[in-house]
Amino acid sequence: MRLPISNRGVRSQVDSAVDAITGGRFVLGVGLGYRDEEFRAFGIAKKERVGRLVEGVEIIKQIWTEDNVTFKGKHFQIERLSVRPRPVQKPRPPIWMGAGSDVAIKRAATMADAWIGMGAATRTTLKRQAELYAQTRSEAGLPPATRLPIMLEAYVAPTREEAWRIGGGPIISKFKSYFTWGLSNTIPEATEALDAPIEELARDRFLIGDVEDAIREVKRHDEELGATDLLIRVQFPGITQRQVLDTLALIGERVISAFKKSVA
């Protein structure tokens, strides 16, 4: 959720209901946002996004844990607001914050329960940023985070060739679109990445391959980064809904099941 352009009161009530419906399994993911068009569409000055994010997170935390919340900030004001149903999780559902730049990662370390690593960054960058996140929490006197979620753009098929034929072009195209929209301002090594050959661009960033490739990549995220969760995106312009369902089924039946067996 791009919190700077969202209604905090409505979001907190909807999310509380989702937490109740799912029996306490809801996680709120938030981010700063970076596209000029998104802020213009809501009539919000992009320069206000950090302040709006900070106030928005504070409001949500208060509404989830207190009744009759009054908040008077620079960007948001609420008066005696309570939400029902209250979240099932205590003291509240976890908040995960996406961040690509070092400044944003430090902000996430003090505001959120977990930092979401950006899938557009290389594994080397993610490892350094995970260490920065942990160090910032320690310096702030906060306990170590128990989760490290990483976003991962992926397409898995029965063969590596089929995965590249179906998913390679759309994933690379979407990646380049993100960067022309402004993501390059927040992700290190962005400019150099756009000029790299496709295979080099995908290496250490995306998962495009067969089942064995996928299992190996998940293990690498665990062993090299300490990732606890992978937020996998498989739907991109140019990939049909049937192809999306096919790769989801393959990931569920062959990749996830492989790790369930290893845990058992």
pLDDT tens, per residue, the chain with 264 residues: 556 656 656 667 788 889 999 999 999 999 988 788 888 888 989 899 999 999 999 999 999 999 999 999 999 999 999 988 899 999 999 999 999 889 999 999 999 999 999 887 888 899 999 999 999 999 999 999 999 999 999 999 999 999 999 999 999 888 877 777 666 566 656 556 666 666 767 777 899 999 999 999 999 999 999 999 999 999 999 999 999 999 999 999 999 999 875 544
In a domain, 16, yes or no: yes
Which pLDDT does position 115 carry in this prediction? 98
pTM of the model: 0.86
Residue 201 falls inside a structural domain: no
Residue 256 lies in a domain: no
Tell whether 51 is covered by a domain: yes
Whether 52 is in a domain gets the answer yes
The structural domain count of the chain equals 1
Q: What is the pLDDT at residue 1?
A: 57
In a domain, 178, yes or no: no
**Which residue range forms the structural domain that includes residue 57?**
1-93
Q: What is residue 172's predicted lDDT score, i.e. its pLDDT? A: 87
In a domain, 32, yes or no: yes
Query: Token pair 């034929």 is at which residue?
Result: 165
Give the per-residue pLDDT at 173.
87
